Amino acid sequence: MWYPVGLFVSGVAVVLLLGSRFSRVSEELADAIGIGQTIGGMILLGASTSLPGVIISFDTALGGQATLSVSNAVGGIAAQTAFIAIADAAMRRGPLSEEVTMAASLMQLAVLLFLLTLALLAMLAPNTFVLFDVHLASLALVVAVILGFRMVQTSEVEPKWYSRRLRGQKTGVTVSGESGETTAGESGVTVSGESEETTAGESGETASDSTRTPALVGEYLLIAALVGGAGWLLSYGGQQVMTETALSPMLVGMTGMAIASSLPELVTSVAAVRRGAVALAIGDIIGGNVFDTLMLALADFAYSVDSIYAHVTLEVLFLVGMTTMMSSVLLIMLVRRETEDFGTSIGTESYLILVIYVVGSAYILL
């Protein structure tokens, strides 16, 4: 037991040690290449911090462990959603939802809910749409993630859920048919003011950022590779511990592996929130959850017996439903933008997310 436990603990240690630095490098790289914090959190942090979970789900699916593979993927999404409450507490100046960039975060959650529902439908009809032992829902997941990323990117640049009049005010274009208030003058003042404030020092800073970008990319790739290696340690060590102790795959996948592989999101999001990069933290967690749904597709491709959805248990179905509910509460939290924190620096919805996670996990495992 010492050897597999040592590997598992080593993987956890690597994730914890690199998490904070990973957050800072991702934030600096997002600024250097000119993308927003929400998109940066989704791409730079969300995808790369999901590497441990991706490796675990792929490796366990190759070994024929359907429940272990799927419960790790979905359990990771549930655990990371629960981490929102921890990041909320780390704010210490009011509910986290007050400072979240709305459009992109809402689009991310809408895409995530679609993906979770698609996965649930695949589990309810596991043998209906199968081609070469791969469920067509797995292909749909991949396409939906790509299209979803495009929609998130578009909503960050031009949020269209504003009224036509508000969009006109934001762009400085008066919408025909609306009231005759002129917004072009306001826009022109702002633009000219910004252009006048541009100095040689700012251009020098931009040049300095461009020269630093290759170094940031190199450091980012190095940390991502180490985090991915930690994922393999977690996968191998966790499977060996399960074999030696005869623990249920659901227990090991949903708790041990899922939580351990999700630690990058916890560490990086808390570190980002404490630095004031709230959008980066939320983009990391929700973006990581979106990418985690690809673990299901990857596991289905790796599972050689049949479609992996045909071999999951009822507990896994309950877990998917529970995770969908937690994500729905998070969506309500971001739309409602609660300002009352009851003196505890944590919003009401964050409490509800934690309650759903704890009670649901206890129901599944006990």
In a domain, 159, yes or no: no
User: Residue 219 belongs to what domain range?
Assistant: 2-153+209-365
Residue 185: predicted pLDDT = 42
In a domain, 217, yes or no: yes
Which among 54, 43, 79, 305 has a CA at the least distance from the CA of 156?
Answer: 43
Torsion of CA 329, 334, 338, 343, to 10 degrees: 80
Give the Cα separation of 64 and 303 in Å (integer).
6
In a domain, 170, yes or no: no
Please report, as a single letter, which amino acid is at residue 200.
A
Q: What are the average pLDDT values for consecutive 10-residue runs of the chain, which has 366 residues?
A: 79 77 76 69 69 82 88 90 80 60 77 94 87 90 89 69 54 43 41 39 48 83 82 76 76 80 75 72 79 89 88 92 93 73 64 91 87
Give the Cα separation of 42 and 27 in Å (integer).
11
Task: Please report which helix (H) or strand (E) contains residue 135, including its range.
Answer: strand 134-135
In a domain, 137, yes or no: yes
In a domain, 199, yes or no: no
The strand pairing partners of 130, in sequence order, are 135
In a domain, 328, yes or no: yes
113: which residues sit within 8 A by CB, 6+ positions away? 324, 327, 328, 331
Helices 102-124 and 314-336: angle between axes, nearest 10 degrees: 160
Label residue 39 left, alpha or beta by phi (over 0 means left) and psi (-120 to 50 means alpha).
Answer: alpha
Residue 118: predicted pLDDT = 95
Residue 342: predicted pLDDT = 52
Q: How many domains does the chain have?
A: 1
CATH of the domain at 256: 1.20.1420.30
338: which residues sit within 8 A by CB, 6+ positions away? 95, 97, 98, 347, 348, 349
In a domain, 259, yes or no: yes
Q: How far is CA 262 from CA 30, 151, 208, 251, 288, in A?
A: 22, 25, 34, 15, 9
Residue 95: predicted pLDDT = 60
In a domain, 94, yes or no: yes
127: which residues sit within 8 A by CB, 6+ positions away? 306, 307, 310
